[in-house]
Amino acid sequence: MNLTIKFNHRSLQQHLFLLLQSCKSTRELFQIHAQIVTNGFSQKNYILGKLCSVCIDGDDLLEHARKSFELIERPSTIVWNQMIRGYGRSESPHVSMELYNEMVGAEVNADGFTYAFVLMACAKASSLRQGEQLHGRVLCNGMWSNVFVQTNLVNMYGMGGGDGGLEKARRVFDEMPERSVVAWNSILVAHLRRGDVDGGGRVFGEMPEKNVVSWTTMVSALAQNGRCREALALFHAMMRAHVEMDDVAMVAALTACAELGDLNTGRWIHSCVGKGLEDGSHPRLVSLHNALIHMYASCGVVEEAYKVFKGMKRRSLVSWTTMITGYAKHGYAKEAIEVFRWMQDMKADEITFLGLLCACSHTGMVKEARYYFDYMIRSCGIEPKIEHYGCMVDVLSRAGQLDEANKLIETMPMKPNEAVWGALLGGCRIHKRVQLASHVIHQLKLGLEPHCAVGYLVLLSNIYAAAKRWIDVAGVRRSLADIKARKPSGCSWIQVNGAIHDFAAGDWKHGHANEICEMADGIARHSKLANLELDESEILLGFDEGISRL
């Protein structure tokens, strides 16, 4: 950089300002800063405001901006604003609020940008109380008409938490004479943060203008709240509206595809991702790869999941864990263990080990499960959670090691939950341990509401039926009748020619109910012809009908 050309004082300052505007590297920034100091401009607010702005918008240069700021004897409002903005965006938003208080103490006049930036910091720090105080100052200082300030008030109340936050955000929003798409997005997020997805949907429908943030926010909220069909329907509407897909929207849509088993849409999204994703090198796009792995694995196409995984040049811990869990879901324990061994220097966490233990559980690999459970504790220093104990109880119970599983439950450092007891009960069913099953049900009933124990009582009835203890079967069914129990219907779905078909047990309203029953009967007949014995002790349904005949 050649700064040897002679400029007069004003021209040189303007030249340095323009150099800051076009600055592209930290090294270049430091060179310009050195010229600012050596040419006597270290107290010029005009150029120092720009310097702070460039530092804040760069990478890891906030502290450099702070040091420069502290050397200014009388910072202007613009310089204060830049520092408040910088800390408001950082992981230390409380510093932004402290700077504002210092600014007030220094009797520097705040403007609309000042209040907007501090309100942004309050929102990020979930500091509703300080935000409300700022709201009062906004009104006292005549800044209420500032649309930027109003929008950040909506955002602050919506993000700040506490009782009545949504109502206050709505009140500010309703009083705004003009509302930008950013303001609409803020009130949309306020509803969704409170779990009010329906309210958020109404706001979304009322929006006169939507941008990619509006669409993405709503698609993500629907997917995260289990409303996956609606999420995909809105995602397709987003495509029809020619809104450019961003990675957040695609991750949300892929999550919905995974939950619904919608492989066709998932593959279509994969094809639309573009060349930017193909090398997997961009840190922001790693989450998209992870979502693709999860989608393919959830849809049963584990080979495609592994192809995406193997093609990644950069992987996060989530990438490794998602692949391990994907293999575990489909019983590929050896492949899951191989991926774990491939992790090398990547430190596994408790979720990674949970995936490994699940893989061992689904394939009866008791020795390996014991090894990784011990390895997790002794070598990685990870304290097992109840989910890890549940996996160990499950793998031991499936393998017939029921006494060891029961002893493990007794020595757990936390109270066993219904999933842990349920895993042991499942082993009792497999290995016909009737007395232990009765003990498990007793423990379950102590910790569950009666209506929550229905599934386990049904399982106990099946265990008694397998042992031909019909009096005990009748006793369990009377207990079910006493609590007016109804067993939730089993359900499944399948995708055929791009359409997803739902099936629920006992659903005679289904358009193909007769064909489904004929197919089930055909399978039963073929089983008998092949000398395969059906275990009719497992068939408790017609459940309600059986109870009514007792």
Q: Comparing 75 with 507, which gets the higher pLDDT?
A: 75
Average pLDDT over residues 363-379: 93
Q: How confident is the model at residue 284 (pLDDT cuts 50, 70, 90)?
A: low
Residue whose tokens read 């109380």: 129
In terms of Cβ atoms closer than 10 Å to its own Cβ (0-12, 13-18, 19+), residue 42 is: middle
Average pLDDT over residues 35-56: 80
What is the tens place of the pLDDT at every residue in 407-427? 999 999 999 888 898 889 888
The answer for residues whose C-beta is within 8 angstroms of residue 434's C-beta and 6 or more apart is 428, 463, 464, 467, 469
Amino acid at 78: I
The per-residue pLDDT for 228 is 93
Least confidently predicted of 1-5, 132-136, 311-315: 1-5
The alpha helices in 90-224, defined as continuous H runs, are 93-105, 112-124, 128-140, 147-159, 165-175, 181-193, 197-206, 212-224
The per-residue pLDDT for 144 is 80
The per-residue pLDDT for 495 is 61
Question: Alpha-carbon distance 492 to 338, whole Å?
Answer: 31
Question: What tokens were used for 541?
Answer: 């349904």
The per-residue pLDDT for 390 is 93
Whole-number percent of the chain with pLDDT over 70: 82
Predicted TM-score of the model (pTM): 0.74
Contact of 346 with 317, CB cutoff 8 Å: yes
DSSP 452: G
The answer for residues whose C-beta is within 8 angstroms of residue 255's C-beta and 6 or more apart is 223, 224, 228, 231, 291, 294, 295
Question: Alpha-carbon distance 386 to 168, whole Å?
Answer: 40
Is a pLDDT exceeding 60 seen at residue 280? no
Average pLDDT of the residues of the chain: 83
Q: What secondary structure does DSSP assign to 488-499, as a single string?
A: PPPEEEEEETTE
Contact of 104 with 72, CB cutoff 8 Å: no
Question: Alpha-carbon distance 108 to 276, whole Å?
Answer: 47
Distances (CA, A) of 147 to 135, 175, 280: 14, 11, 40
Question: Alpha-carbon distance 204 to 201, whole Å?
Answer: 5
Q: What secondary structure does DSSP assign to 295-306, as a single string?
A: HHHHTT-HHHHH
The per-residue pLDDT for 547 is 38
**290's torsion region: left (phi>0), alpha (psi -120 to 50) or beta?**
alpha
Question: Alpha-carbon distance 426 to 411, whole Å?
Answer: 20
Is a pLDDT exceeding 90 seen at residue 494? no
Question: Alpha-carbon distance 193 to 155, whole Å?
Answer: 11
Least confidently predicted of 12-16, 110-114, 247-251: 12-16
Contact of 354 with 329, CB cutoff 8 Å: no
The answer for residues whose C-beta is within 8 angstroms of residue 397's C-beta and 6 or more apart is 405, 423, 424, 426, 427, 428, 430
Question: Alpha-carbon distance 292 to 270, whole Å?
Answer: 7
Question: Alpha-carbon distance 96 to 333, whole Å?
Answer: 50
Question: Alpha-carbon distance 80 to 96, whole Å?
Answer: 10
Is a pLDDT exceeding 70 seen at residue 275? no
What is the tens place of the pLDDT at every residue in 134-189? 899 888 888 888 888 999 999 898 886 555 788 889 999 999 988 999 999 999 99
The per-residue pLDDT for 481 is 67
Neighbouring CB atoms inside 10 A of 12's CB total 18
The per-residue pLDDT for 541 is 40
Whole-number percent of the chain with pLDDT over 90: 41
Q: How confident is the model at residue 404 (pLDDT cuts 50, 70, 90)?
A: very high
Question: Alpha-carbon distance 293 to 306, whole Å?
Answer: 7
